[in-house]
Structure 1
Amino acid sequence: MNIKEQVQKMDAMVSQGDIVNAVKQFFSANANTSDYGGVKTASRDQMVEKMEGFTGAIAQVNGITHHRTLVDGNASASEFTFDFDMKDNSRILWHEIIRRVWNDSGEVVEETYFDAKIA
């Protein structure tokens, strides 16, 4: 499986705001995630639930910018800026690096978020 092609497809979905479906399509069943706040998931189903909750709290997407992606072997790092108005009237403006480890079948088995909230 060509990891670079898989990364490009997944990043394109994230760029369009289709985050939940990107997880459903590209995560392995036992994928694990961790973020800068210490929140962890241990399966695709848990991550889908987490992302459905998050995206459901968004009132408006002001922008999602994909800056660049690096691929080295079975690991990738994608840089994004996310700008959301939330239903609770807060604003999220994140500059985030998403590091992924991929298996030989082209599925994400590990995803880690490195974030700098800028507003």
Structure 2
Amino acid sequence: MNIKTLATEMDSMVVRGAIVDAVKQFFAEEAATSDYQNVTTSNKSQMVEKMEGFTGAIAKVNNITHHHTIVDGNVSASEFTFDFDMKDNSKIHWHEIIRRVWDDNGKVINEEYFNA
């Protein structure tokens, strides 16, 4: 599996706003996630549910910018800026690094979010 190609494909989906679809396509069933607010998931279905809830709360996507991705072995790190208007009238502006560990089948087994 070419991790650079897979990470690029996944990042492209995220930029288009297809975040839930990216999780469905690229996550392994046992994938675990954690973020800088100590929110964790322990499998793909939990992450899909989390992302469906999050994306369902977005009123408007102002911008999703992918800055770059680096790959070292089976680990990728992608830098993004997310700018959303939420349905509760709040605004989200995140600059973050998403670190992914990939298995031998080309699936994400661990994903961590870091506030950049």
Which consecutive unaligned segments of at least 5 residues does structure 2 have? none
The CA deviation at 1:108 is 0.1
**TM-score of the two chains, using structure 1 as the length reference:** 0.96
* Structure 2: distance between partners of 1:104 and 1:8: 17
**TM-score of the two chains, using structure 2 as the length reference:** 0.99
The residue number in structure 2 matching 1:57 is 57
The residue number in structure 2 matching 1:106 is 106
The CA deviation at 1:86 is 0.1
Superposed, which structure 2 residues align to 1:1-119 within 5 Å?
1-116=1-116
* Structure 2: distance between partners of 1:115 and 1:44: 22
Question: After superposition, what is the alpha-carbon deviation per residue over 1:61-89, rounded to whole angstroms, capped at 9, x for unaligned?
Answer: 00000000000000000000000000000
**Number of equivalent positions:** 116
Question: After superposition, what is the alpha-carbon deviation per residue over 1:34-59, rounded to whole angstroms, capped at 9, x for unaligned?
Answer: 00000000000000000000000000
* Structure 2: distance between partners of 1:83 and 1:30: 29
Q: CA RMSD in A?
A: 0.5
The percentage of aligned residue pairs carrying the same residue is 70
